Amino acid sequence: MASPLLALPAEIRQQIICETFHVELMDSTYRVQSPLRGICKRLESDIEEVRSSWLPEGTIDVSVKDTYGMYGFVPLQRDFELRATCSGRKWLGVQEVRLQCYLDNAPPAPMPTLSIFRNVMYQNNLDHYDISMLPETVEKVVIDTTMPPKQLKAIEEAWPEGRCSIDGRQEKFWLATLKHIFVYISAYSRREPSNTLENEGWIFTKVTDRMVRLETNGKLPKSQVDAMACTNLKEW
């Protein structure tokens, strides 16, 4: 059965596609992405037709996939500002940014025979997320702790659901990984009291001459609950 979306006129299809667009920053550049990409040739053609002229009217969903992605704000700002000027439209700029803690591409599974320090292979170097590189329009930074599907699959294959590793490496893996994230967040929100502000439960940090709200968001994998909750490690 054909998709109802494909039965719509091209103009309406493309309007719907624009509502699915989001921006990913990676390897010093940016990409406009849609979950509809790769479904069929007709939608792929629609995406390419509207992507080059797309300019969000309100807030824009921006995800920084790796630390080099911070450099992608330069071409993003340049291209969108030029697009707005040439078309006589208005662009409000990037207001919210999501920083991804875990890398998209999964390294080899953390097998019990390997060092627990392989957890760093699963993470971006959080210390290199220089928030001073954010555009002036940014008001909120979300630190995303959700693990991408490829990484989660590798971990689940190494440590099946409901089974903790005999030598405790699974528990140590998650302890080291989450501790790294916690230390990073604490460093940004507490290292310079003069540059931070807490208001109604929210933490704000100073970026150049303005305050930006910091927020942590994400879900930890249910398949790894036993390794986090049912452990004898005192550090937990």
Would you list the domain boundaries of the chain? 95-229
Say how far residue 81 (Cα) sits from the centre of its chain.
Answer: 23
pLDDT of residue 73: 92
Letter for the amino acid at 144?
D
pLDDT of residue 42: 84
Model pTM score: 0.78
Which tops the pLDDT comparison, 83 or 1? 83
Lookup: tokens for 221: 């994998």
pLDDT of residue 216: 82
pLDDT at 229 over 60: yes
pLDDT at 130 over 50: yes
Of 116, 149, 122, 169, nearest in space to 221 by CA: 149
The residue count of the chain comes to 236
- pLDDT tens per residue across span 145-175: 888 888 788 777 777 765 665 667 777 777 7
| Per-residue CA distances from 21 to 35, 48, 223 (Å) | 8, 12, 30
